[in-house]
Amino acid sequence: MLVHLPILQVIVPLIAAPTCLILRKPKLVWLFTLLASSLAFVISILLLQQVMLTGTISYELGGWSPPWGIEYRIDKLNAFIALIISGVSTVVLLAAQTSIEKEIPQEKQTLFYILYLLSLTGMLGILTTGDAFNVFVFLEISSLSAYSLIALGKDRRALWASFQYLIMGTIGATFILIGIGLMYQMTGTLNMADLATRLPEVAETRTITTAYVFFIVGVCLKLALFPLHFWLPNAYTYAPSIVTAFFAATSTKVAAYLLIRFTFSIFGISFSFTTLPMETLFLILGISGIFIASTVAIYQDNIKHVFAYSSVAQVGYMIVGFSLTTHAGLTAMLLHMFNHALMKGALFLALAAVVYRVGSTRIADFQGLGRQMPLTMAAIVVGGLSLIGVPLTVGFVSKWYLVVAVIEKGWWWLAGLVLLGSLLAVIYVWRIVETAYFKAPIAGRQPVKEAPMAFLVPVWLLVSANVYFGIDTRLSVEIATAAAKSLFGVAQ
């Protein structure tokens, strides 16, 4: 059984999805989905343990040996990210039933869980597979289910947001497919490990450069890297709240994984960063992303928009770490992926609780909530502090590693810019705090009650994780360092 864990990671949610149709009753379907997601979480824990102990696992699908058959390949990098995704998915699901009761009509609730599971399947599939074409297939599975999930949003603008995402996402996926196709044409293989050994022979050709560029642009679209982020704010804002919490914490992480995997393990550092001025390009995009998206976030009226733009800015931080192309920089990026999932999971889930009670996330509706929903607001404050990077939260750990990595390169000016970026976060987080705590409740509105336990438990689980991993960093730092090290080992 343990040998089959890599495929079970994907199969469990995949089989669970159609099974939901048999169960029908939303409450039962919810419990079943929760069970499937927890199982996936347990599997990813087991896989990570195994990888940390014994090194990379290679699994031959159907017993066909690679490169002819499809290979699933688990190393420290994807085991780490699979853990983040299945973990957040499970915690977010705890609140799902309560949240969608108010946001999704009864007859569509089963559909919601099916799509959720398919989306999870797609993400986990992208992570575990060692086959480039498989990546595209799983990407489409996760994307198509994502478009439908976003379209389930109560607000009619959800349809428009979903359509926008559909167009942009499809362009991205097509670019990725073109990139993979060109690679296949030049090397005759789709197996990632095999690609990595064969690509250097043809690296000098223009076709491979084209393949690389198509692929990277496609991935950056899915990553919502500035300036390819236009689909993200609306998609996050008008989707059902639970979907936002799930995607904000996971979907950009998967795209970031693809970026790391293809540049470091497949194309190799020397190709990726010498043929084209990618370091400078990524650095500029990352920094502009941080400053522009954070500034836009300050002027948003809807708190979901605020945090969505903040997500774009956080992708900027990851990319700055990535652009350093050093071990320390990559460690910082991986750590921030883990930490950002915890922050945004907590924040968007808390917003889901606000939607449940108040029905809106416009800033004006937050007036007086500090008193009426003390636990939910306290969660937003802690999550916000983590976003700013205050010590004893995970945000501080991310920032620390990123700045250390930047200074190691000798770029003091960049270290200054990274720190200045967090000041913008102070502004947009503090607008919320001020409104919630120091403005009287809106006159005439029914007093709002604290969110139900179904929200408080998962929200505070994630908030505690923000604090716990900000104090005891052994787990996250150890895995991120090991993953970064192995990537540099493979690449050089």
Partner 1 sequence: MNLSLETLLQLCILLPIFSTIGIVALRRHQNLREAVSIFTSLFVFYSVVSIYLGLQTGETISVHWLQILPGLSVSFTVEPLGMIFALIASFLWLVTITYAIGYMRGHNEDNQTRFYCCFAIAIGAVMGVAFADNLLTLFIFYEVLTLSTYPLVTHAGTEAAKKGGRTYLGILLGTSIAFFLFAILGTWMIAGTLDFTQGGVFPVDVDTTLLGVILVLFIFGIGKAAIMPFHRWLPAAMVAPTPVSALLHAVAVVKAGVFTVMKVSVLIFGIDLLSILPTTQPLLYLAGATVLLASFIAMRQDNLKARLAYSTIGQLGYITIGALLASPIGVIGGSMHIAMHAFGKITLFFCAGAILVAAHKSKVSQLDGLGRRMPITMAAFFIASLGIIGIPPAGGTWSKWYLLMGSMDTEQWTILVILLISSLLNIAYLLPIPIRAFLYKESPANSALGVKEAPLACLIAIGITTLATMALFIYPAPLYELASSILQTTSIAHGQ
Residues that bind partner 1 (CB under 8 A): 385, 388-392, 397, 399-400, 403-404, 407-408, 412, 415-416, 419-420, 422-423, 426-427, 430, 434, 437-440, 470-473, 477
Minimum CB separation of residue 393 from partner 1 in Å reads 10
Q: Which structure tokens are listed for 116?
A: 């959720």
Choice between 26 and 389, CB closer to partner 1: 389
- Check whether the bond before 6 is cis (ω within 30° of 0): no
Choice between 122 and 384, CB closer to partner 1: 384
Q: Which residues pair with 362 in a beta bridge?
A: 302
Minimum CB separation of residue 137 from partner 1 in Å reads 40
280 contact partners, CB below 8 Å, separation of at least 6: 323
Choice between 339 and 422, CB closer to partner 1: 422
Minimum CB separation of residue 474 from partner 1 in Å reads 8
Minimum CB separation of residue 400 from partner 1 in Å reads 6
Work out the number of other CB atoms within 10 angstroms of the CB of residue 278: 19
- Check whether the bond before 452 is cis (ω within 30° of 0): no
Task: Give one DSSP letter per residue of 259-285, joined into a string.
Answer: HHIIIIIII-HHHHHHSS-HHHHHHHH
Can you tell me the distance from the alpha carbon of 145 to that of 13, in angstroms, rounded to the nearest whole number? 13
Choice between 453 and 471, CB closer to partner 1: 471
Task: Give one DSSP letter per residue of 415-465, joined into a string.
Answer: HHHHHHHHHHHHHHHHHHHHHHHHSPPPTTSPPPPPPPHHHHHHHHHHHHH
β-strands 57-60, 71-74: how paired? antiparallel
91 neighbors 458 (Cβ within 8 angstroms)? yes
Minimum CB separation of residue 377 from partner 1 in Å reads 13
Phi, psi (degrees; rounded to nearest 5) at 389: 100, 40
Can you tell me the distance from the alpha carbon of 322 to that of 331, in angstroms, rounded to the nearest whole number? 9
Choice between 299 and 438, CB closer to partner 1: 438
Choice between 111 and 442, CB closer to partner 1: 442
Minimum CB separation of residue 438 from partner 1 in Å reads 5
Minimum CB separation of residue 460 from partner 1 in Å reads 16
Which residues in 40-70 are b (16+ Cβ under 10 Å) and which e?
Answer: bbebbeebbebbeeeebbebbbeeeebbeeb
Choice between 29 and 406, CB closer to partner 1: 406
Can you tell me the distance from the alpha carbon of 401 to that of 428, in angstroms, rounded to the nearest whole number? 23
Minimum CB separation of residue 52 from partner 1 in Å reads 17
Minimum CB separation of residue 357 from partner 1 in Å reads 22
Can you tell me the distance from the alpha carbon of 135 to that of 138, in angstroms, rounded to the nearest whole number? 5
Minimum CB separation of residue 280 from partner 1 in Å reads 23
Minimum CB separation of residue 389 from partner 1 in Å reads 7
Choice between 160 and 430, CB closer to partner 1: 430
Task: Give one DSSP letter per residue of 299-359, joined into a string.
Answer: T-SBHHHHHHHHHHHHHHHHHHHHHT-SHHHHHHHHHHHHHHHHHHHHHHHHHHHHHHHHS
Minimum CB separation of residue 259 from partner 1 in Å reads 26
Whole-number Cα distances in Å, 51 to 13, 45, 59, 304? 22, 10, 13, 37
Whole-number Cα distances in Å, 166 to 143, 206, 214, 312? 8, 30, 18, 18
Eight-state DSSP code of residue 392: T
Q: Which run of H or E residues covers position 58?
A: strand 57-60
Q: Would you call 484 helix, strand, or coil by DSSP?
A: helix
Minimum CB separation of residue 322 from partner 1 in Å reads 20
Picking from 123, 115, 117, 54, the residue whose alpha carbon sits closest to that of residue 82 is: 123
